[in-house]
Amino acid sequence: MAETKREIERKYDAPTDNFRLPDLLKVPGVSAVIDKGVVELDAVYYDTEDQRLAEDRITLRRRSGGADAGWHLKLPVSLSEGVRDEVQAPPSDTLPRALAGLVRSRVRGDELIPVVRLRSSRDVSHLTDADGSLLAEVCVDAVRAERADGERATAWTEIEVELADGADPAFLGKVEKRLRKAGVERSASASKLARALEETGAEQRTNPETPAGAGAEPGPDTAGARVLARLRAQRDALVELDPAVRRDLPDSVHQMRVATRRMRSAFKTYKKVLDPAVTGAVGEELKWLAAELGIDRDREVLTERLTGRIDAVPRTLLLGPVRGRLRIWAVARRHGSRRHTVAVLDGRRYLALLNSLDALLAEPPLLPAADKPAAEVLAKAARKDKARLAGRIEHALSLEPGTRRDVALHEARKAAKRARYAGEAARPVLGKQAKKFAKRMKGVQSVLGDHQDSVVAREALRQLGIQAHGAGETAFTWGLLYGQEQAAAADRERELPGVWARAEKRKLAAG
């Protein structure tokens, strides 16, 4: 079974091959420096032929020696320097399935092959405080690296300082200050692998988005360039969020779903820039993925909403095993939705979508408007999306309260989201006015979103009430919560005209 730990470390280049650590007892807070001896490590690093993992600062290795021998996958955490999540699995001849899934969005169907082998003689010391608690592990590594084909090799000595679990990250700065006094400087390489690839000549970069015969990129200030930049950013987000979703990290499903929606909205908003005859099929696949991810995300949002409602009810009105029934209902739904989400990411259809996105961005189906000034095209598209939203709001508010109005307001919500995304996409070109435009559209979306959440919550509460009644429990509290959701929806409907009037006042101009 794979295990994960957060790794916070800094790397330094040793000034000489026979370098010895300075007296680290002089580091504030250190009471003891414990020599843990020398460990011999042997690691083979794997990647695709074009080194996609290395390109994204991901390392995958199979290591022998040391207390944690086995497979190690290191994933960067945000853009924080020296902070990575290390997923470990026991030794095996083949890559464990859990780790294979975490690199699947990058590797796709390609083979993982050995790229370099690193053998390190590691001299380990532990820094502890007055209570004997570990503050950090300091290692002096004598490294020999060679290409997988054995044709070139290199060697160096480096120092790693890894923060202990629960220790204050500021402690690393104190150790660094002491090391610098001894002439030690930060390593220019992000990792041993990066340095080995560079110094052995194993490093190679092929860009899958520029195949032979691909057309020229549009100019930097054109609509085409800005739209493609937006799409590439969302495609990258989709790929990067894949392992986070598999690891069930907070908000990862939501953010992945947002990336799919932003791309799909861009295809529709900028149909004068990118040929919809080409993007249409990819957009439908993005719609499919968003819906599949929604099974997990919608369950999460709904459970949080119902839990909040129950927490606000006075204890005297909580009749029957309300919390227990909600917990059972939520766990049953989560178990099924969680397995479903991972199965989707493991499916061929999802990988085909990622490949389609790469192909589309490699040879984008640009239309004549792609060569026009970005400010002009993006502002016009955002205004058009805003007008579309205005029509949907007007239609929804013209209907009598009830199911038809609920459906119409949900359609208006989707239009508000699309207008908001158009404002976001225009921000690099139009600056503050686009930022304000997106913020106003988000305000409208929030009102409509809360209304839709109430519609969904009411149906869930009705089902919970039916289940409670069938089990011989009182359904009083579920009815009470249903009434609260009805009132909340009515409040949002009364609030909408004012929010929309304020959002509609400001105009978006090209420059």
Distant-in-sequence, close-in-space partners of 415: CB < 8 Å, separation ≥ 6: 385, 388, 389, 392
The predicted-structure confidence for 69-90, as pLDDT tens digits, reads as follows 999 999 998 655 679 999 999 9
- pLDDT digits 0-9 by tens, 359-410: 999 999 999 999 999 999 999 999 999 999 999 999 999 999 999 999 999 9
Do the first three CATH levels of 3-200 and 224-371 match, i.e. the same topology? no
Every domain of the chain and the residues it spans = 3-200, 224-371, 373-511
Better-predicted residue by pLDDT, 492 or 81:
492
Rounded distance between C-alpha atoms, residue 399 and residue 393, angstroms? 10
Model confidence band, residue 1 (pLDDT cutoffs 50, 70, 90): low
User: Which distant-in-sequence residues (6+ apart) come within 8 Å of 452 by Cβ?
Assistant: 406, 409, 410, 413
User: Whose CA is closest to 380, among 416, 414, 429, 413?
Assistant: 429
The confidence score (pLDDT) of residue 213 equals 40
**Predicted pLDDT of residue 509:** 76
pLDDT the model gives residue 335: 60
Binned at pLDDT 50, 70 and 90, residue 2 comes out as confident
Residue 323 scores a pLDDT above 90: yes
Once rounded to an integer, what is the mean pLDDT over residues 156-163? 96
CA angle 446, 452, 454 (to 5 degrees): 105
* Segment (H or E) for 411: helix 403-430
CATH code that applies to domain 224-371: 1.40.20.10
Q: If pLDDT is split at 50, 70 and 90, which confidence band does 348 have? A: very high
**Nearest alpha carbon to residue 133 among 85, 168, 176, 83:** 168
pLDDT at 16 over 80: yes
pLDDT for res 210: 45
* DSSP tag of 16: S
- Give the per-residue pLDDT at 98: 92
Structure tokens belonging to residue 91: 């030794």
What does the pLDDT read at residue 214?
A: 46
Q: What is the pLDDT of residue 491?
A: 97
Are residues 42 and 117 in contact, defined by beta-carbon separation less than 8 angstroms?
yes
pLDDT at position 336 over 70 = no
- Specify the fold of 3-200: Hypothetical Protein Pfu-838710-001 (2.40.320)
Cβ-based neighbour number of residue 56 at 10 Å: 15
Burial tier of 160 (Cβ tally within 10 Å: 0-12, 13-18, 19+) = buried
Distance from C-alpha of 230 to C-alpha of 345, rounded to nearest angstrom: 23
Give just the sign of the alpha carbon dihedral 406, 408, 410, 416.
negative
pLDDT of 205 over the 60 cut: no
What's the pLDDT band for 216 if we cut at 50, 70, 90? low
Return the percentage of the chain with pLDDT > 70, whole number. 95
Contact in structure between 376 and 222 (CB atoms under 8 Å) = no
The pLDDT score that the predictor gives to residue 415 is 97
Residue % of the chain over a pLDDT of 90:
83
Mean pLDDT of the residues in the chain: 92
- Residue 253 in this model has a pLDDT that exceeds 80: yes
Q: How confident is the model at residue 211 (pLDDT cuts 50, 70, 90)?
A: very low
CB within 8 A of 400, min separation 6: which ones? none
Residue 449 clears pLDDT 70, i.e. is over it: yes
Q: Tokens 């009515």 label which residue? A: 490
pLDDT at site 166: 93
State the burial class of residue 213 (Cβ atoms within 10 Å of its Cβ: 0-12, 13-18, 19+). exposed
Rg (CA), the chain: 28
| pLDDT at residue 206 is higher than 60 | no
